[in-house]
Structure formats: structure tokens, C-alpha cells
């Protein structure tokens, strides 16, 4: 891909894989560039020496690096997690009273130090942003907690969520109102 700047209505040479940017058109704001704060990356960084980890984070987030200012934070596990988990594994907790960030900041639920500290990872990235630049974060969900899911197929669906038991990768959100409301609270 090649980027071509244009101004005053002029056009870059038409070619495949060219992104034209009109420098005079200010209709859209760019939120920033960045990446995801996943369990896998947090785990890998936690295994690095302090100096190597700081250098890596600086290469992405510092004024002398790529200056990332945007980060996606998965709510619970995602496709780049070393294990499947959610932040409220308590069945029938429709009010989300047991919602907890424990798995994102402490020892894993199995009692082992998994190194999956997304919150620590975010703090370390923020620490190398020396010039006061804000780090904007947005949360995204890979899957509802399994107890909010069902294996039933939607009506007229040819792509059935075939499963005997819902999991992080199988099933779909239960369409009943109390489950949808609980999912909204989870988010």
C-alpha cells in the first residue's frame, strides 16, 4: 500500500493499493494508532527482563517510538488469550454482583502465576508515554460469559451454533431478556 497526499482537488496517480489523503479535507478526526492489550502479549512481556520490556514498550508508546495512543482491551479472554475465562463465571448472576477484574490483575484462577496482567501491561505502557499524551482505551468482548450463552439456533438459521455445551467459542447469546440485560451489565 502506498499513501499519496493530495491538495486542492488534485488526485494522485490512479493505481491499485493507493490510499489518497486530501490534506485540505478535515471532515474526520483520527483517534490514534495502537494495538491490543491482550493476555498473550502481557504474558510474553512479563517474561522479559525489565530493560527489554521497557525498550519494547517504548518502541510502541514513547515519543521516540511509534507513539501509539489507542489500545483495545478485551473484556475477559479473547483469541489471543492463553486460556478461556470471563470476568463473571457465576451462573445466574444477572445483576453482575460477582463481576471482577481479578483475572486481569492477579494470580490466575487456577492458583498459578499466569503472567496475564493486562492492567499492569497498560500501566507500563502509559509510563513510557513521557510527554503527557493520553492513552485512549476501548473495551471489547470476544464472547459473553458461557452461562449467558445457548446452543439453540436462531429461527431460519442455516448456520446453527452446533454445540452440546456453550463455550467461549461455541454458542450464542441467549435471546431471553434477562440474559440480554445481564450481558449489557457485563459490558
> pLDDT (tens digit, 9 = 90+) per residue, 137-158?
999 998 899 899 988 755 555 5
pLDDT score at 47: 87
pTM score, two decimals?
0.71
Tens-digit pLDDT profile for residues 28-43? 778 889 999 988 888 8
- Alpha-carbon distance of 132 to 80, in angstroms, equals 29
pLDDT score at 79: 84
Nearest to 146 by CA among 112, 186, 113: 186
| 105: Cβ contacts below 8 Å, ≥ 6 apart | 117, 118, 119, 120
Highest mean pLDDT pick, 1-15, 17-31, 148-162: 17-31
Highest mean pLDDT pick, 60-69, 102-111, 166-175: 60-69
Amino acid at each position: 500500500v502506498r499513501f499519496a497526499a493530495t491538495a486542492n482537488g488534485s488526485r494522485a496517480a490512479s493505481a491499485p493499493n493507493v490510499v489518497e489523503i486530501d490534506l485540505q479535507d478535515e471532515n474526520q478526526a483520527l483517534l490514534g494508532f495502537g494495538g491490543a492489550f491482550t493476555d498473550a502479549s502481557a504474558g510474553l512481556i512479563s517474561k522479559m527482563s525489565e530493560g527489554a520490556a521497557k525498550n519494547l514498550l517504548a518502541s510502541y508508546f514513547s515519543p521516540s517510538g511509534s507513539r501509539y495512543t489507542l489500545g483495545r482491551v478485551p473484556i475477559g479472554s479473547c483469541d489471543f488469550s492463553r486460556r478461556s475465562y470471563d470476568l463473571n463465571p457465576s451462573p445466574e448472576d444477572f445483576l453482575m454482583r460477582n463481576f471482577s477484574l481479578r483475572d486481569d490483575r492477579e494470580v490466575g484462577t487456577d492458583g498459578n502465576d499466569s503472567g496475564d496482567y493486562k492492567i499492569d501491561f497498560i500501566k507500563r505502557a502509559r509510563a513510557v508515554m513521557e510527554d503527557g499524551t493520553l492513552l485512549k482505551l476501548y473495551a471489547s468482548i470476544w464472547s459473553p460469559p458461557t452461562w449467558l450463552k445457548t446452543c439453540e439456533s436462531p429461527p431460519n438459521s442455516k448456520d446453527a451454533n452446533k454445540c452440546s455445551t456453550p463455550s467461549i467459542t461455541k454458542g450464542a447469546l441467549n435471546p431471553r431478556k434477562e440474559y440480554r440485560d445481564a450481558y449489557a451489565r457485563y459490558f
